[in-house]
Structure 1
Amino acid sequence: MRADRLVSLVLLLRRHGRLSAAALARELEVSTRTVLRDIDALSAAGVPVYAERGRNGGFALLPGFRTELTGLNHDEALALLVAGSRRGAQAFGLGGALASAMHKVVDALPESHRATAAGAVERLLIDPETDLLARRLTDEEVPDAVLAEVRRAVFAGHRLRIHYAAAGQAPKWRTVDPIGLVTVRGQGYLLATRSGADRTYRLSRILAAEELAEPARRPERVDLDRIWQERSTRFRTGGDQVTVLLRVHPARRAELAGTALSVHAGETGADGWPRLEATFQDARHAVWALWQLATNAEVLAPQWLRTSLRDRAAAVAAGYSRKPSVA
């Protein structure tokens, strides 16, 4: 289990003093890339792991650091693995465990470092709830009991029954083979297979869950990064994609690139606005993304999208042309 590996990594550094990423990878039987990720997770959680450059360099713990990490329970150790993203811990229902684990990490610090660490924490803010434009980042609400049941099935390697409400469909029970959990911008996903076919489920749409005693049909080792990339690619290239020809204000081009599946540049008009070809997942995605740009973008084709945006704008204008009702 990856939580056990994190504790093992710290204990290896405690015992040997300094080890290279390659040596840690051999000891833990993982790749050097995985070791570097674990080092980042430890650093984000407040464990003072530092790198020494040079031929005989490697990773080491800050001298005097007292690693009483054996006092962590399972959920607390697991929470440290997602401590690089506070929102990730919340998405998997590990917010409380993360807070508890961090208290134990602070307690493991030498007394001389505790005040410094507390002061440093006050100087860092990661993933605030709003950005500079006051847009609130919303985490999906998932009942703790559902998350706990899903987590248990994933880590125990057992099959899972979920009462799932797919978009536009009535909820129904499904039995799946869970592979892993992923969080993206506050949204959690269960990666699984069902009757041998790949399936991705939004955690917020799981209304109930039940871990089964039957072993899951899945490979013993898994590379979630690769699986997520493959499924993301299939999602982007499937469905009823929409290609749009448009002109956009140069200052909003980056925003368009952040919402569209792909953007290809064309010529720049006499007004300085580039002509672009953008691809969206479907019609709803296209309307939503281009509506955000307001008058800083104009759809040139297809005509149905121009009409849709025009009608929406006309409805808004009509609403504001009426005298406001007084309650």
Structure 2
Amino acid sequence: MRAARLVTLLLLLQNRGRMTAAQLAAELEVSVRTVYRDVESLSAAGVPVYGEPGHDGGYALLDGYRTRLTGLTAPEAEALFLAGLPGPAAELGLGSVLAAAELKLEAALPAELRAQAGRIRERFHFDAPGWYRDADEVPYLPALAAAVWQRRAVRVRYRRWYRPEEVERRLEPYGIVLKAGRWYAVACAGTGIRVYRIGQIQALEPLDEEFTPPPGFDLAAHWASHTAELQARLWQGEAEIRISPAGRARLPDLTVQAVQDAVDAGHDEDDGWRRAVIPIESLVHAETELLKLGAEVEVLAPPQLRERMAATARALAERYA
């Protein structure tokens, strides 16, 4: 454990430059006192690490020093091969680059680790798209990815679901996200940072205009905030339902986590059914989703939704009479 920690500390200083003892302690999840001891051990082993006092001080490696540590543990090698996603990499235009990198990594591994890591492809496969739908076609993804790398603006023709359906936008693409088989661009269009589905881009023109993202912009944090806000806006109302044990067993395959959580928080009745108040997007959407449960659910409120369910049930009964 300590040897692995010393290697990690050395690589942190090599890759990030000067770091304080507190920063190193946070990264290594140890105490500052432990960092002091580890730095002394590295220095005693001949590693040219030095410390500078003061507000802007910290530990650093002597200029020009780089370790030649290339050893990987078996779990680390497996994790690197497991991290390769050939489908998304190919869509980004990096398929051949990924393949070349994996070949170089494989060639550098000892025979035992090479065989162990090679078994990853035989036993694990990633399929990003969701069930029952194809992934988006994204012909402009490589060009957009290039714009993200180069920090250059693009002009796009974009199709949206409301009028006017096609619009032109100048975008400053800050990053790209793959979510459930669909690619999204997080970009500034002049009126703030928005999310664009890349499969909806109808045309793209790279512009010879550089941009700089806002200071401190974090793609992962922005995406998490965006999805949380989207989820909050999604639910426009509530419905009170009764659901059978069989219906509850089918819920995970039919609906989203928010509905599942609401049902889990409900209370059981004497007949074994559970009463709960669930969030709904709209009456139409709620009817469609609840009908998937057939007779294993009963809508109690609102009256409009109960009436829609009853009307559909009557129509079905007449159809199959």
Q: Give the TM-score of the pair, scaled to structure 1.
A: 0.65
- Counterpart in the other structure of 2:249: 251
Selected match of 2:181 from 182, 186, 190: 186
Where in structure 1 are there 5+ consecutive unaligned residues? 1-15, 37-54, 68-79, 323-327
Partner amino acid, structure 2, of 1:61: G
Map 1:19-58 → 2, pairs under 5 A: 19=6, 21=8, 24-29=11-16
Partner amino acid, structure 1, of 2:298: E
* 1:226-271, Cα deviation, whole Å (9 max, x unpaired): 1011111221222661212112233235454526496262321222
**In structure 1, distance between residues paired with 2:213 and 2:5:** 36
* 1:174-222, Cα deviation, whole Å (9 max, x unpaired): 1122111111111111111222322111111111222211122522553
Selected match of 2:201 from 203, 206, 210: 206
Map 1:51-90 → 2, pairs under 5 A: 61-62=71-72, 83=83, 85=85, 88-89=88-89
- Counterpart in the other structure of 1:152: 146
- Larger CA deviation: 273-282 vs 90-99: 90-99
Q: Is 1:269–2:269 an aligned residue pair?
A: yes
Partner amino acid, structure 2, of 1:199: R
What is the DSSP-based 3-state SS (H/G/I as helix, E as strand, rest coil) of the residue aligned with 2:193?
strand
**In structure 1, distance between residues paired with 2:13 and 2:112:** 34
Cα–Cα, structure 1 residues 309 and 63, in superposed 2: closer, same or farther, change >3 Å?
Answer: closer
- Counterpart in the other structure of 1:140: 136
1:160 and 1:209 in contact (8 A); partners too: yes
2:184 and 2:195 in contact (8 A); partners too: yes
* 1:275-295, Cα deviation, whole Å (9 max, x unpaired): 222223444543443333333
- Cα RMSD for the two superposed structures: 4.1
* 1:42-87, Cα deviation, whole Å (9 max, x unpaired): xxxxxxxxxxxxx97xx973379xx9xxxxxxxxxxxx89935556
- Counterpart in the other structure of 1:3: none
What is the DSSP-based 3-state SS (H/G/I as helix, E as strand, rest coil) of the residue aligned with 2:178?
strand
1:239 and 1:281 in contact (8 A); partners too: yes
Cα–Cα, structure 1 residues 62 and 22, in superposed 2: closer, same or farther, change >3 Å?
Answer: closer
Partner amino acid, structure 1, of 2:124: L
1:157 and 1:216 in contact (8 A); partners too: yes
1:245 and 1:278 in contact (8 A); partners too: yes
Partner amino acid, structure 2, of 1:237: A
**In structure 2, distance between residues paired with 1:312 and 1:23:** 67
**In structure 1, distance between residues paired with 2:306 and 2:91:** 38
Selected match of 2:231 from 236, 259, 268: 236
1:154 and 1:180 in contact (8 A); partners too: yes
- Counterpart in the other structure of 1:176: 171
2:82 and 2:120 in contact (8 A); partners too: no
**In structure 1, distance between residues paired with 2:88 and 2:252:** 26
Equivalent residue pairs, number: 266
**In structure 2, distance between residues paired with 1:240 and 1:267:** 22
What is the DSSP-based 3-state SS (H/G/I as helix, E as strand, rest coil) of the residue aligned with 1:234?
helix
Cα–Cα, structure 1 residues 105 and 22, in superposed 2: closer, same or farther, change >3 Å?
Answer: closer
Where in structure 2 are there 5+ consecutive unaligned residues? 18-22, 29-36, 39-68
- Counterpart in the other structure of 2:55: none
1:162 and 1:175 in contact (8 A); partners too: yes
What is the DSSP-based 3-state SS (H/G/I as helix, E as strand, rest coil) of the residue aligned with 2:266?
strand
Selected match of 2:156 from 139, 151, 162: 162
What is the DSSP-based 3-state SS (H/G/I as helix, E as strand, rest coil) of the residue aligned with 1:263?
helix
* 1:78-100, Cα deviation, whole Å (9 max, x unpaired): xx899355564366454554444
Shift of 1:111: 4.2
What is the DSSP-based 3-state SS (H/G/I as helix, E as strand, rest coil) of the residue aligned with 2:271?
coil
Shift of 1:164: 0.8
Q: Give the TM-score of the pair, scaled to structure 2.
A: 0.66
What is the DSSP-based 3-state SS (H/G/I as helix, E as strand, rest coil) of the residue aligned with 1:238?
helix
Higher Rg of the two aligned structures = 2
1:245 and 1:275 in contact (8 A); partners too: yes
**In structure 2, distance between residues paired with 1:159 and 1:246:** 50
Partner amino acid, structure 2, of 1:152: A
- Counterpart in the other structure of 1:299: 299
